[in-house]
């Protein structure tokens, strides 16, 4: 039997990049996955190239910064599937700038999506988990939440806040058999990082002991572990997946 057979999973930011890789990994192990995103594929557009996985992954439009939007999509999921077993809080944005140049809007956009969005999704979707007395929540953080990064005060703050949120909610929900953990990626190959110049990429890699960037699948492997029964006695933890860039 596959590890996520008969499990219902929700992945925010699930239609591209790391989120899509996570959705595909969970589906490959039997989960029925709802991929929430602000922008979803157009009707008829090929979203999942693997024909075996495509029927298991349903894209749904949602705005993680809106309680109303998340409550609406959660109600739809519960109407269709009756439960939510796994929540992967992956949706995130960047608005990089030096502090002296960073606008209030750039600060608010990142905090609202990356931190408030996790609060909203977790608050709404843990209600069915509490009734079930079962749930697995994995928040996607970042190495810069622990080490900081010039030009990313907003992003680093949002990901550092996510660590505190993860540990606090793990303590609140543990008695209901709901595990809450965080995966903190380092430099990952995504459409966003593909836009960097070769010089910029080389500057990142020189500080990584493994001398390569992560693929989205490297992150989805860690997420799948924490969402599975193999991690049934792990909660409130941050799993760094960064090739050795940061060693705690």
Tokens in use for 55? 């029927």
Q: Which of 34, 155, 187, 233 is catalytic?
A: 155
Assigned domain for 248 exists: no
CATH number for the domain that contains residue 179: 3.40.50.720
Q: What is the pLDDT of residue 197?
A: 79
Q: Contacts from 159-167 at CB under 8 Å and sequence distance 24+?
A: 159/114, 159/184, 161/111, 161/115, 162/114, 162/115, 162/118, 163/238, 165/115, 165/118, 165/119, 165/122, 165/139, 166/139, 166/141, 166/236, 166/238, 167/236
Residue 47 in domain: yes
Asked if residue 195 belongs to a domain, the reply is: yes
Give the integer Cα–Cα distance in Å for 52 and 34. Answer: 16
Per the annotation, the verdict on 187 as an active-site residue is no
How many structural domains are present in the chain?
Answer: 1
Q: Is residue 188 part of a domain?
A: yes
Q: What is the pLDDT of residue 195?
A: 72
Q: Which domain holds residue 73?
A: 8-240
Q: Is residue 60 part of a domain?
A: yes
Q: Is residue 139 part of a domain?
A: yes
Q: Are 35 and 59 in contact (CB under 8 A)?
A: yes
pTM above 0.85, yes or no: yes
| Residues in the chain, pLDDT under 70 | 192
Query: Would you give the distance in Å from CA 88 to the centre of its chain?
Result: 5
Question: Is residue 2 in some structural domain?
Answer: no
- Torsions phi, psi for 87 (to 5 deg): -125, 125
The confidence score (pLDDT) of residue 192 equals 67
In a domain, 245, yes or no: no
């Amino acid at each position: 039997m596959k590890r996520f057979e008969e499990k219902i999973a929700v992945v925010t930011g699930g239609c591209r990049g790391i989120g899509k890789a996570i959705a595909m990994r969970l589906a490959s192990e039997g989960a029925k996955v709802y991929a929430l995103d602000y922008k979803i594929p157009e009707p008829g557009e090929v979203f999942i190239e693997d024909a075996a996985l495509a029927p298991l992954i349903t894209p749904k439009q949602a705005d993680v910064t809106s309680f109303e939007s998340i409550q609406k999509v959660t109600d739809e999921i519960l109407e269709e599937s009756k439960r939510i077993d796994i929540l992967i809080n992956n949706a995130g944005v960047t608005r990089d700038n030096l502090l002296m140049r960073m606008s209030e809007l750039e600060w608010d956009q990142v905090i609202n999506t990356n931190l408030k969005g996790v609060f909203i999704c977790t608050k709404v979707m843990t209600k069915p988990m509490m009734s079930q007395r079962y749930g697995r929540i994995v928040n996607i953080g970042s190495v810069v939440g622990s080490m900081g990064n010039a030009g990313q005060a907003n992003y680093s703050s949002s990901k550092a806040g996510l660590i505190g949120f993860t540990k606090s909610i793990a303590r609140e929900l543990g008695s209901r058999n709901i595990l809450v953990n965080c995966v903190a990626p380092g430099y990952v190959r995504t459409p966003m990082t593909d836009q960097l110049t070769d010089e910029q990429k080389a500057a990142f890699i020189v500080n990584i002991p493994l001398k390569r960037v992560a693929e989205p699948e490297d992150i989805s492997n860690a997420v799948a572990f924490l969402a599975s029964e193999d991690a049934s006695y792990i909660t409130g933890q941050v799993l760094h997946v960064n090739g050795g860039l940061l060693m705690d």
